[in-house]
Amino acid sequence: MSSLSQFAESLIGSEIVKLGNEISRRVQQGEKIYNYTIGDFDPEIFPLPTLLEEEIINCYKQKYTNYPPADGLLELRSAIVQFIEDRESIKYTPAEVQIASGGRPLIYAVFKTIVDSNDKVIYAVPSWNNNHYTAMNHGIHCTIDTYPENNFMPSIADIRKHIEGATLLCLCTPQNPTGTTMSKDTLEGICDLIIEENKKRTGKTKKLYLMFDQMYSLLTYDNIKHYNPVALRPEMKEYTIFVDGISKSFAATGVRVGWALGPAPVLAKMRALLSHVGAWAPMAEQKATANFLTQNEAIDQYLTNFKSALQDRLKTIYQGLMQMKANGLPVDCIPPQAAIYLTIQIDLAGKSVNGQLLETQKDVTEYLLTKAKLAVVPFYAFGAGNHSPWYRLSVGTCIKTEIPEMLALLENALMEIK
């Protein structure tokens, strides 16, 4: 008999953490690894906006080091209200904003506030951690397998199959891990499904809520546009909880300022839960972010340079992989659309190298790490099937001058496959 709780015994460790541990071990032994697994930024390559950094330092100098309010500083919530109205064309009040230390505690709070044991949770795979959050809450997994034909996004028809009686639908666009986006038509159709389903539910029947993770919304490229459900269908405001923040769009993952927007009654319960967890963003960072979000000219200038540097890396790697594909090697790639990720396919399972069979996708991942010195995250770490040949490649720590040598090593490794 275990001496731990059933909850603890049921937890599954992160595949990404396992891979990260293996990479660290190899680096410590002196290996050069091209580590494209991390959904984070190297501050030496992608620093914070200078203005935000200066604001944080000034706020600490001004002794903003005490507890913040449970829902977040009013001036920050007010700044977010104006920021999202300017950039998303949706209107909220400060009472409809909840601050926390990044997106993770907010997502946890959404699940804990909405999902009871045996409630249906709809999410696509691959996607970031929805499988783990559903398991933590003993929900019923309504998973949707996605494919490159739809940019690894769920379709309206996919969601319609599961929507009856569901409690929570999870969408993320631009998406982690794929770096792809949802089209306007698809999002409109999904919103219409949710509205129609909720009209059928009367009395004390629980509503169907949409958790809409748009942490990468400002990082879209070329003609790709981000859409949100409330701007497309204002009626969705009653059923939508946004998860957003500065972590990705401003290379501020360690600053830990995130926010949720949603119906005030839902946010009140999330706030109560978070007050017990203590997952607030630090006072100085909140104060600094409030000041920063009002500086539209500085923000636009930063995003222009930041996005250009990210897109340059994504496109360079994409072009290199597509050249390998044209040369007959077993790789493929989705054109970069958004975020800091490329979705790449390395289809080697069942093939041999020097007489050794790469039987599983884990064998392929290990081969890439050993032979090509390339570390990328397999989609099975994001809930997809164990046999999926697709991977997430992140450029947040990518040194641009190292891309040609990384591609050369990968090409040589692929050419040895029989």
Instruction: Quote the pLDDT of residue 237.
Output: 98
The mean per-residue pLDDT over the stretch 8-26 comes to: 79
Contacts of 97 (CB under 8 A, 6+ apart): 71, 72, 77, 80, 81, 259, 260, 261, 267
Instruction: Quote the pLDDT of residue 13.
Output: 72
Contacts of 17 (CB under 8 A, 6+ apart): none
Residue that is last in its domain, among 266, 295, 324: 295
Q: Give the tens place of pLDDT for each residue, 253-298.
A: 999 999 999 999 999 999 999 999 999 999 999 999 999 999 999 9
Instruction: Quote the pLDDT of residue 22.
Output: 81
> Residue 230 pLDDT > 80, yes or no?
yes
325, exposed or middle or buried, with CB in 10 Å at 0-12, 13-18, 19+?
middle
Q: Which contacts qualify for 129-133: CB closer than 8 Å, 24 or more apart?
A: 130/170, 130/383, 131/383, 132/12, 132/14, 133/107, 133/108
Contacts of 266 (CB under 8 A, 6+ apart): 113, 114, 209, 241
Are 273 and 350 contained in the same domain?
no
Instruction: Quote the pLDDT of residue 2.
Output: 65
Q: Is residue 272 part of a domain?
A: yes
Are 190 and 234 contained in the same domain?
yes
Are 103 and 238 contained in the same domain?
yes
φ/ψ region of 32 (left if φ > 0, alpha if ψ in -120 to 50, else beta) reads beta
The answer to pTM > 0.85 is: yes
Confidence label for 11 from pLDDT (cuts 50, 70 and 90)? confident
Q: Is residue 68 part of a domain?
A: yes
Are 163 and 272 contained in the same domain?
yes
Are 242 and 382 contained in the same domain?
no
Are 74 and 201 contained in the same domain?
yes
Q: Is residue 1 part of a domain?
A: no
Q: Give the tens place of pLDDT for each residue, 172-215.
A: 999 999 999 999 999 999 999 999 999 999 888 899 999 999 99
The mean per-residue pLDDT over the stretch 311-317 comes to: 98
Q: Give the tens place of pLDDT for each residue, 94-145.
A: 999 999 999 999 999 999 999 999 999 999 999 999 999 999 999 999 999 9
Are 325 and 377 contained in the same domain?
yes
Q: Is residue 25 part of a domain?
A: yes
What's the number of domains the chain is made of? 2
DSSP labels, 90-149: ----GGGEEEESSHHHHHHHHHHHHPPTT-EEEEEES-SSHHHHHHHTT-EEEEEE--GG
Are 65 and 14 contained in the same domain?
no
Q: Is residue 164 part of a domain?
A: yes
Q: Give the tens place of pLDDT for each residue, 32-56.
A: 999 999 899 999 999 999 999 999 9
Q: Give the tens place of pLDDT for each residue, 213-224.
A: 999 999 999 999
CA angle centred on 158, ends 152 and 161, rounded to 5°: 160
Are 287 and 189 contained in the same domain?
yes
Residue that is last in its domain, among 244, 274, 295: 295
- Euclidean distance between CA atoms 309 and 395, whole angstroms: 10
Residue that is last in its domain, among 241, 262, 295: 295
> Residue 16 pLDDT > 80, yes or no?
no
> Residue 14 pLDDT > 80, yes or no?
no
Confidence label for 26 from pLDDT (cuts 50, 70 and 90)? confident
Q: Is residue 123 part of a domain?
A: yes
The mean per-residue pLDDT over the stretch 12-30 comes to: 81
Confidence label for 1 from pLDDT (cuts 50, 70 and 90)? low
Are 82 and 194 contained in the same domain?
yes
Q: Is residue 122 part of a domain?
A: yes
- CATH code, 171: 3.40.640.10
- CATH code, 345: 3.90.1150.10
**Average pLDDT value over all residues in the chain:** 95
166, exposed or middle or buried, with CB in 10 Å at 0-12, 13-18, 19+?
buried
Q: Is residue 403 part of a domain?
A: yes
Instruction: Quote the pLDDT of residue 221.
Output: 98
Q: Could you tell me what percent of the chain has a pLDDT over 70?
A: 100
Are 319 and 402 contained in the same domain?
yes
Confidence label for 159 from pLDDT (cuts 50, 70 and 90)? very high
Are 197 and 316 contained in the same domain?
no
Structural domain that includes position 381? 6-46+300-415
